Amino acid sequence: MADGLVFDIQHFCLDDGPGIRTTVFFKGCPLRCIWCHNAEGLSAEPQLYYASEKCTGCRKCADVCPENVHSFRETGHDVDFLSCVSCGSCADVCGREALRIAGRRMSAREVLKDVLADKPFYDQSEGGVTLSGGEPLMQGDFACELAELAKINGLHVCVETSGYCTPQTLRQILPFTDLFLFDFKHHDPQLHRRFTGVDNRRILENLRFLSENGKELILRCPIIPGCNDSEPHYRAIAELSEELCGVTAVHIEPYHPFGLSKYRAVGRKAAYVRDELLDRRDAERIRDHIASLTAKPVVIS
Protein backbone atom coordinates (compact mmCIF):
# COMPACT_ATOMS: atom_id res chain seq x y z
CA MET A 1 0.00 0.00 0.00
CA ALA A 2 1.56 3.25 -1.15
CA ASP A 3 0.74 6.76 0.00
CA GLY A 4 1.08 9.58 -2.49
CA LEU A 5 1.21 13.34 -2.59
CA VAL A 6 -1.71 14.93 -4.46
CA PHE A 7 -2.22 18.65 -5.02
CA ASP A 8 -5.70 18.62 -6.51
CA ILE A 9 -8.58 16.38 -7.48
CA GLN A 10 -10.83 17.99 -10.09
CA HIS A 11 -14.25 16.65 -10.95
CA PHE A 12 -16.23 17.01 -14.19
CA CYS A 13 -13.18 17.51 -16.39
CA LEU A 14 -13.83 17.39 -20.12
CA ASP A 15 -10.32 17.86 -21.56
CA ASP A 16 -8.34 15.06 -19.94
CA GLY A 17 -9.55 12.07 -21.93
CA PRO A 18 -12.92 10.79 -23.18
CA GLY A 19 -16.21 11.61 -21.44
CA ILE A 20 -16.64 13.19 -18.05
CA ARG A 21 -13.60 12.54 -15.87
CA THR A 22 -12.06 13.12 -12.50
CA THR A 23 -8.45 14.25 -12.78
CA VAL A 24 -6.02 13.52 -9.97
CA PHE A 25 -3.01 15.84 -9.91
CA PHE A 26 0.12 14.18 -8.53
CA LYS A 27 2.69 16.49 -6.97
CA GLY A 28 6.26 16.51 -8.23
CA CYS A 29 7.80 16.49 -11.69
CA PRO A 30 11.32 15.58 -12.91
CA LEU A 31 11.04 18.03 -15.83
CA ARG A 32 11.29 21.80 -15.74
CA CYS A 33 9.53 22.89 -18.94
CA ILE A 34 10.04 26.62 -19.10
CA TRP A 35 6.40 27.15 -20.15
CA CYS A 36 4.89 24.89 -17.43
CA HIS A 37 1.55 26.27 -16.25
CA ASN A 38 1.25 24.13 -13.13
CA ALA A 39 3.88 25.66 -10.86
CA GLU A 40 2.48 23.95 -7.75
CA GLY A 41 3.01 20.59 -9.45
CA LEU A 42 6.79 20.95 -9.75
CA SER A 43 8.05 20.38 -6.20
CA ALA A 44 7.63 16.90 -4.75
CA GLU A 45 7.01 18.38 -1.29
CA PRO A 46 3.95 20.06 0.25
CA GLN A 47 4.29 23.84 -0.06
CA LEU A 48 2.58 27.08 0.86
CA TYR A 49 0.28 28.54 -1.80
CA TYR A 50 -0.69 32.19 -1.39
CA ALA A 51 -3.47 33.65 -3.55
CA SER A 52 -2.77 37.34 -3.01
CA GLU A 53 -5.98 38.48 -4.72
CA LYS A 54 -8.02 36.93 -1.88
CA CYS A 55 -6.05 38.50 0.97
CA THR A 56 -7.77 41.23 3.01
CA GLY A 57 -4.68 42.05 5.11
CA CYS A 58 -6.23 40.90 8.41
CA ARG A 59 -2.76 39.71 9.63
CA LYS A 60 -4.04 36.61 11.41
CA CYS A 61 -1.46 34.55 9.51
CA ALA A 62 1.40 36.61 10.97
CA ASP A 63 0.06 36.05 14.49
CA VAL A 64 0.30 32.26 14.26
CA CYS A 65 3.31 31.64 12.00
CA PRO A 66 6.25 30.24 14.03
CA GLU A 67 8.75 31.13 11.30
CA ASN A 68 7.80 34.81 10.72
CA VAL A 69 7.00 34.11 7.10
CA HIS A 70 4.28 36.76 6.87
CA SER A 71 5.05 40.45 7.22
CA PHE A 72 3.08 43.56 6.38
CA ARG A 73 4.44 46.79 4.97
CA GLU A 74 3.02 49.73 3.08
CA THR A 75 3.46 47.72 -0.10
CA GLY A 76 1.21 44.97 1.27
CA HIS A 77 1.59 41.40 2.51
CA ASP A 78 5.08 39.92 2.04
CA VAL A 79 5.59 36.16 2.18
CA ASP A 80 9.06 34.75 2.84
CA PHE A 81 8.50 31.38 1.15
CA LEU A 82 12.04 30.16 1.84
CA SER A 83 11.45 30.26 5.61
CA CYS A 84 8.16 28.35 5.44
CA VAL A 85 8.12 24.83 6.91
CA SER A 86 4.63 24.04 5.52
CA CYS A 87 3.08 23.51 8.94
CA GLY A 88 -0.27 24.86 7.68
CA SER A 89 -1.08 26.96 10.79
CA CYS A 90 -1.60 30.13 8.75
CA ALA A 91 -3.89 28.38 6.29
CA ASP A 92 -5.98 27.14 9.22
CA VAL A 93 -6.67 30.68 10.45
CA CYS A 94 -7.11 32.43 7.11
CA GLY A 95 -10.82 32.98 6.71
CA ARG A 96 -10.45 34.08 3.06
CA GLU A 97 -8.81 30.90 1.75
CA ALA A 98 -5.91 33.03 0.56
CA LEU A 99 -3.51 30.47 2.04
CA ARG A 100 -3.35 26.72 1.66
CA ILE A 101 -0.81 23.95 1.64
CA ALA A 102 -0.53 22.55 -1.88
CA GLY A 103 0.07 18.82 -1.55
CA ARG A 104 -1.77 16.35 0.64
CA ARG A 105 -0.68 12.83 1.54
CA MET A 106 -3.39 10.39 0.57
CA SER A 107 -3.67 6.64 0.19
CA ALA A 108 -4.78 5.25 -3.16
CA ARG A 109 -7.99 4.04 -1.47
CA GLU A 110 -8.78 7.56 -0.23
CA VAL A 111 -8.31 8.97 -3.72
CA LEU A 112 -10.41 6.19 -5.21
CA LYS A 113 -13.25 6.88 -2.79
CA ASP A 114 -13.37 10.49 -3.98
CA VAL A 115 -13.16 9.42 -7.63
CA LEU A 116 -15.94 6.82 -7.32
CA ALA A 117 -18.40 9.47 -6.09
CA ASP A 118 -18.92 10.43 -9.76
CA LYS A 119 -19.17 6.92 -11.19
CA PRO A 120 -22.72 7.48 -12.58
CA PHE A 121 -21.36 10.34 -14.69
CA TYR A 122 -18.50 8.21 -16.03
CA ASP A 123 -20.94 5.43 -16.88
CA GLN A 124 -23.23 7.81 -18.78
CA SER A 125 -20.46 9.57 -20.70
CA GLU A 126 -17.88 6.75 -21.11
CA GLY A 127 -15.55 8.80 -18.93
CA GLY A 128 -13.33 7.77 -16.03
CA VAL A 129 -10.30 8.82 -14.07
CA THR A 130 -7.14 10.58 -15.33
CA LEU A 131 -3.83 10.53 -13.49
CA SER A 132 -2.07 13.82 -14.13
CA GLY A 133 0.33 16.20 -12.44
CA GLY A 134 3.12 17.14 -12.09
CA GLU A 135 4.27 13.78 -13.39
CA PRO A 136 2.13 10.91 -12.04
CA LEU A 137 4.72 8.26 -12.91
CA MET A 138 7.25 9.95 -10.63
CA GLN A 139 5.19 8.38 -7.81
CA GLY A 140 5.17 5.01 -9.57
CA ASP A 141 3.90 2.68 -6.83
CA PHE A 142 1.11 5.05 -5.84
CA ALA A 143 0.07 5.63 -9.46
CA CYS A 144 0.03 1.89 -10.18
CA GLU A 145 -2.01 1.10 -7.09
CA LEU A 146 -4.56 3.79 -7.92
CA ALA A 147 -4.82 2.67 -11.56
CA GLU A 148 -5.24 -0.96 -10.51
CA LEU A 149 -7.96 -0.09 -7.98
CA ALA A 150 -9.73 2.02 -10.60
CA LYS A 151 -9.70 -0.88 -13.07
CA ILE A 152 -10.97 -3.29 -10.42
CA ASN A 153 -13.88 -0.88 -9.97
CA GLY A 154 -14.61 -0.81 -13.69
CA LEU A 155 -13.26 2.66 -14.51
CA HIS A 156 -11.60 3.81 -17.72
CA VAL A 157 -8.08 4.96 -16.79
CA CYS A 158 -5.99 7.61 -18.57
CA VAL A 159 -2.44 8.51 -17.64
CA GLU A 160 -1.24 11.95 -18.69
CA THR A 161 2.54 11.79 -18.76
CA SER A 162 5.72 13.45 -19.96
CA GLY A 163 6.98 9.91 -20.54
CA TYR A 164 10.03 10.56 -18.40
CA CYS A 165 9.96 7.56 -16.07
CA THR A 166 11.65 4.21 -15.60
CA PRO A 167 10.70 1.35 -17.96
CA GLN A 168 9.75 -0.68 -14.85
CA THR A 169 7.12 1.86 -13.82
CA LEU A 170 5.70 1.88 -17.32
CA ARG A 171 5.58 -1.92 -17.44
CA GLN A 172 3.89 -1.97 -14.04
CA ILE A 173 1.09 0.49 -14.92
CA LEU A 174 0.55 -0.71 -18.49
CA PRO A 175 -2.08 -3.39 -17.71
CA PHE A 176 -4.19 -0.91 -15.73
CA THR A 177 -4.18 1.95 -18.26
CA ASP A 178 -6.59 2.29 -21.19
CA LEU A 179 -5.14 5.43 -22.74
CA PHE A 180 -1.89 7.34 -22.41
CA LEU A 181 -2.00 11.09 -23.03
CA PHE A 182 1.67 11.32 -23.92
CA ASP A 183 3.53 14.64 -24.26
CA PHE A 184 5.76 15.29 -27.24
CA LYS A 185 7.48 18.58 -26.46
CA HIS A 186 10.46 18.78 -28.81
CA HIS A 187 11.95 16.45 -31.42
CA ASP A 188 15.50 17.79 -31.04
CA PRO A 189 17.38 16.21 -28.07
CA GLN A 190 19.45 19.30 -27.32
CA LEU A 191 16.54 21.72 -27.53
CA HIS A 192 14.43 19.30 -25.52
CA ARG A 193 17.06 19.43 -22.78
CA ARG A 194 17.30 23.22 -23.02
CA PHE A 195 13.55 23.77 -22.69
CA THR A 196 12.61 20.95 -20.29
CA GLY A 197 15.81 20.15 -18.40
CA VAL A 198 16.01 16.52 -19.64
CA ASP A 199 16.98 14.63 -22.78
CA ASN A 200 14.16 13.16 -24.88
CA ARG A 201 15.79 9.76 -25.55
CA ARG A 202 14.18 7.92 -22.65
CA ILE A 203 10.84 9.56 -23.42
CA LEU A 204 10.88 8.38 -27.03
CA GLU A 205 11.96 4.87 -25.98
CA ASN A 206 9.03 4.74 -23.56
CA LEU A 207 6.65 6.01 -26.22
CA ARG A 208 7.77 3.28 -28.63
CA PHE A 209 7.50 0.67 -25.87
CA LEU A 210 3.84 1.59 -25.30
CA SER A 211 3.13 1.55 -29.01
CA GLU A 212 4.76 -1.88 -29.42
CA ASN A 213 2.63 -3.16 -26.54
CA GLY A 214 -0.59 -2.18 -28.29
CA LYS A 215 -1.50 0.76 -26.07
CA GLU A 216 -3.77 3.54 -27.24
CA LEU A 217 -1.89 6.85 -27.31
CA ILE A 218 -2.78 10.46 -27.86
CA LEU A 219 0.19 12.71 -28.58
CA ARG A 220 -0.14 15.97 -26.67
CA CYS A 221 1.95 18.67 -28.28
CA PRO A 222 2.35 22.05 -26.61
CA ILE A 223 3.05 24.78 -29.16
CA ILE A 224 5.24 27.40 -27.54
CA PRO A 225 6.28 30.49 -29.51
CA GLY A 226 10.05 30.69 -29.83
CA CYS A 227 10.57 27.14 -28.51
CA ASN A 228 8.94 24.58 -30.79
CA ASP A 229 6.77 26.50 -33.28
CA SER A 230 8.92 25.37 -36.18
CA GLU A 231 8.48 23.42 -39.39
CA PRO A 232 10.90 20.59 -38.40
CA HIS A 233 8.93 20.06 -35.20
CA TYR A 234 5.57 20.00 -37.01
CA ARG A 235 7.00 17.41 -39.40
CA ALA A 236 8.35 15.36 -36.49
CA ILE A 237 4.91 15.36 -34.82
CA ALA A 238 3.29 14.14 -38.02
CA GLU A 239 5.98 11.50 -38.64
CA LEU A 240 5.73 10.14 -35.12
CA SER A 241 1.94 9.95 -35.29
CA GLU A 242 2.22 7.97 -38.54
CA GLU A 243 5.02 5.70 -37.35
CA LEU A 244 3.45 4.61 -34.05
CA CYS A 245 0.48 2.31 -34.52
CA GLY A 246 -1.16 3.07 -31.17
CA VAL A 247 -1.56 6.80 -31.84
CA THR A 248 -5.24 7.59 -32.37
CA ALA A 249 -4.98 11.41 -32.36
CA VAL A 250 -2.69 14.40 -32.06
CA HIS A 251 -3.71 17.16 -29.68
CA ILE A 252 -2.23 20.59 -30.29
CA GLU A 253 -1.99 22.62 -27.08
CA PRO A 254 -1.44 26.30 -27.89
CA TYR A 255 0.52 28.33 -25.34
CA HIS A 256 -1.52 30.30 -22.80
CA PRO A 257 -0.30 32.48 -19.93
CA PHE A 258 -2.95 31.45 -17.37
CA GLY A 259 -0.46 29.70 -15.12
CA LEU A 260 1.80 32.68 -14.52
CA SER A 261 0.01 33.77 -11.32
CA LYS A 262 0.67 30.30 -9.84
CA TYR A 263 4.41 30.98 -9.87
CA ARG A 264 3.89 34.04 -7.69
CA ALA A 265 1.58 32.00 -5.45
CA VAL A 266 4.32 29.47 -4.65
CA GLY A 267 7.14 32.03 -4.55
CA ARG A 268 8.83 31.00 -7.79
CA LYS A 269 9.87 33.05 -10.78
CA ALA A 270 8.42 31.98 -14.13
CA ALA A 271 11.13 31.13 -16.68
CA TYR A 272 8.97 31.93 -19.74
CA VAL A 273 6.89 35.08 -19.56
CA ARG A 274 4.65 35.98 -22.45
CA ASP A 275 1.31 37.59 -21.71
CA GLU A 276 -0.50 36.80 -24.95
CA LEU A 277 -2.09 33.50 -25.85
CA LEU A 278 -1.01 31.88 -29.06
CA ASP A 279 -3.39 33.49 -31.59
CA ARG A 280 -6.33 31.20 -32.41
CA ARG A 281 -5.84 31.61 -36.16
CA ASP A 282 -2.16 30.70 -35.82
CA ALA A 283 -3.12 27.61 -33.83
CA GLU A 284 -5.64 26.61 -36.53
CA ARG A 285 -3.04 27.13 -39.22
CA ILE A 286 -0.58 24.88 -37.33
CA ARG A 287 -3.28 22.28 -36.78
CA ASP A 288 -4.20 22.26 -40.47
CA HIS A 289 -0.58 22.06 -41.51
CA ILE A 290 0.17 19.05 -39.29
CA ALA A 291 -3.10 17.46 -40.40
CA SER A 292 -1.93 17.76 -44.01
CA LEU A 293 1.12 15.63 -43.12
CA THR A 294 -0.59 12.78 -41.27
CA ALA A 295 -3.70 10.66 -41.65
CA LYS A 296 -4.32 10.79 -37.88
CA PRO A 297 -6.87 13.30 -36.55
CA VAL A 298 -5.26 16.53 -35.35
CA VAL A 299 -7.26 18.73 -32.98
CA ILE A 300 -6.67 21.82 -30.85
CA SER A 301 -7.21 21.04 -27.18
Q: Which residues bind ligand SF4 (CB under 6 A)?
A: 48, 55-61, 64-65, 67, 69, 77, 84-90, 93-94, 96, 98-99
C-alpha distance across the termini of the chain, in Å: 35
Nearest approach in angstroms of CB 40 to ligand SF4 is: 14
Nearest approach in angstroms of CB 92 to ligand SF4 is: 8
Nearest approach in angstroms of CB 82 to ligand SF4 is: 10
Give whichever of 98 and 238 is closer to ligand SF4, judged by the CB atom: 98
Distance CA 60, CA 82 (A): 20
Nearest approach in angstroms of CB 48 to ligand SF4 is: 5
Nearest approach in angstroms of CB 60 to ligand SF4 is: 4
Give whichever of 57 and 214 is closer to ligand SF4, judged by the CB atom: 57
Provide the 10 A C-beta neighbour count for residue 27.
28
Give whichever of 49 and 255 is closer to ligand SF4, judged by the CB atom: 49
Q: Which of 105, 107, 103 is nearest to 145 (CA)?
A: 107
Distance CA 107, CA 84 (A): 25
C-alpha 112 chain-centroid distance:
19
Give whichever of 10 and 56 is closer to ligand SF4, judged by the CB atom: 56
Do residues 108 and 2 make contact, with C-beta atoms less than 8 angstroms apart? yes
- R_g over Cα of the chain: 20
Give whichever of 99 and 223 is closer to ligand SF4, judged by the CB atom: 99
Nearest approach in angstroms of CB 133 to ligand SF4 is: 22
Give whichever of 3 and 67 is closer to ligand SF4, judged by the CB atom: 67
Integer CA distances (angstroms), 14 to 10, 20, 199, in order:
10, 5, 31
